[in-house]
Amino acid sequence: QSVLTQPPSASGTPGQRVTISCSGSSSNIGSNTVNWYQQLPGTAPKLLIYSNNQRPSGAPDRFSGSKSGTSASLAISGLQSEDEADYYCAAWDDSLNGVVFGGGTKLTVL
């Protein structure tokens, strides 16, 4: 059971906009910034969004992040087949004194 809650799956057709949610609590998302990681099949995770809504160099601007209260969201616009991957949210948890991850969301491009 993950501390951060994500839907196990999401899907969309090419060109669509898809949103993935991440729910936490006051000790993690409510008081710290959220990061999002993309893990393509058979590869290591890659940073996609940091500090709630910042894109690292190289991350496509089709990806955007937001945070409100104890929840965060990752939005993917103009969905492409290469976006098919697992997506994880993560944040520091003040009570656990460590990083907590969501369980991951498997995105399927139909």
Partner 1 sequence: EVQLLESGGGLVQPGGSLRLSCAASGFTFNNYAMSWVRQAPGKGLEWVSAISGSGGTTYYADSVKGRFTISRDDSKNTLYLQMNSLRAEDTALYYCARDRHIVVVTAICFDFWGQGTLVTVSS
Q: Which of 85, 89, 93 has its CA nearest to residue 25?
A: 93
Under rule CB under 8 A, residue 59 binds partner 1: no
Under rule CB under 8 A, residue 30 binds partner 1: no
Residue 15 C-beta: closest distance to partner 1, Å:
28
3-class DSSP state of 36: strand
Please report the DSSP string for 66-77 in residue order: EEETTEEEEEE-
Task: Single out the residue of 46, 53, 66, 70 in contact with partner 1 (rule: CB under 8 A).
Answer: 46
Residue 96 C-beta: closest distance to partner 1, Å:
7
Under rule CB under 8 A, residue 97 binds partner 1: yes
17-40: burial string, b at 16+ Cβ within 10 Å, e else: ebebebbbbebbbeebbbbbbbbe
Q: Which of 10, 8, 1, 21 has its CA nearest to residue 100?
A: 1
Task: Single out the residue of 14, 15, 69, 98 in contact with partner 1 (rule: CB under 8 A).
Answer: 98
| Binding residues vs partner 1 (CB under 8 A) | 2, 31-33, 35, 37, 39, 44-47, 50-51, 56, 86, 88, 90, 92, 94, 96-104
